[in-house]
Structure 1
Amino acid sequence: MTTILEPEVIPKGRRVKLKTSSRGTVPYVDKKELATELNRSRTTLSQWEELLIKYSPDFRKFYSPGSPWNDFQAYCLELIHCWRIGIKTRKLPPDAYQSYVIENSQLFTLENYKNDIQQQRQTDATINNAKLIEAA
């Protein structure tokens, strides 16, 4: 039996939340909180957000100026952060982030996000089952 995670839907201005295990049941992430968590400035995250708005249609669907990010948006920003951490160079060319977002646009989709969440849940379930077997 597979679980289908539906994307966030905004029916008549109301928000229906997505949930990830990394943040528990908190549906939205404050921009300042995410900047602190990733050890990035809010300006940097805003620049990344602008790139994602331009080049990721799924990210654009959820964009609302001035509101906190949902889990999908935070996930996309975390992908860019993880990519940047993997690069040892201190100073990147000015268009490096734009090139990364354009070349890897398939990473910033709801489908990829849902797959990651599902894999994470399967891994967690396997670990929990192993702990139960070990405890018994």
Structure 2
Amino acid sequence: MTPDRLEALRRLAETRKAADLAALEKLLRAERDCATEIEAIRATRAAELAEPFGASPPGALEARLRWADQRTAELSHRRAEIGERIRAARAAAAVSLGKDKALGELRDRAAREAARARLARAERETPPGEGRRGEFE
């Protein structure tokens, strides 16, 4: 395959790599957002539990604590789902990175081979006595 065709394939692989890395970053950001919200809810819950008895209207504290527990459970479940998707996205990104690197190396090797072939052809086509390498006069 020619260096130009390999470069075209490498550009396609690079585009795929960028998309895979962007998808992975989006998932990682969503996972961090879930973790941040869980921590905020837990901190608020701890602060409310530390308030003196009777500081909140009757039943309000229990309702807020129930909501906090439900929301934390929802976020934990979502975080676990995102974790599975992150593992898949990391695998896809690793494949994309490998393809991009391999195609770049193949392109470089093909370019070196093409340059060697051009040099060898030029030497074969050079008339005797006009600077051919390896000949003694």
TM-score tier after normalising by the smaller chain length: under 0.3
Decide which structure has greater helix share: 2
Q: Which has the larger radius of gyration?
A: 2
TM-score, structure 1 normalization: 0.26
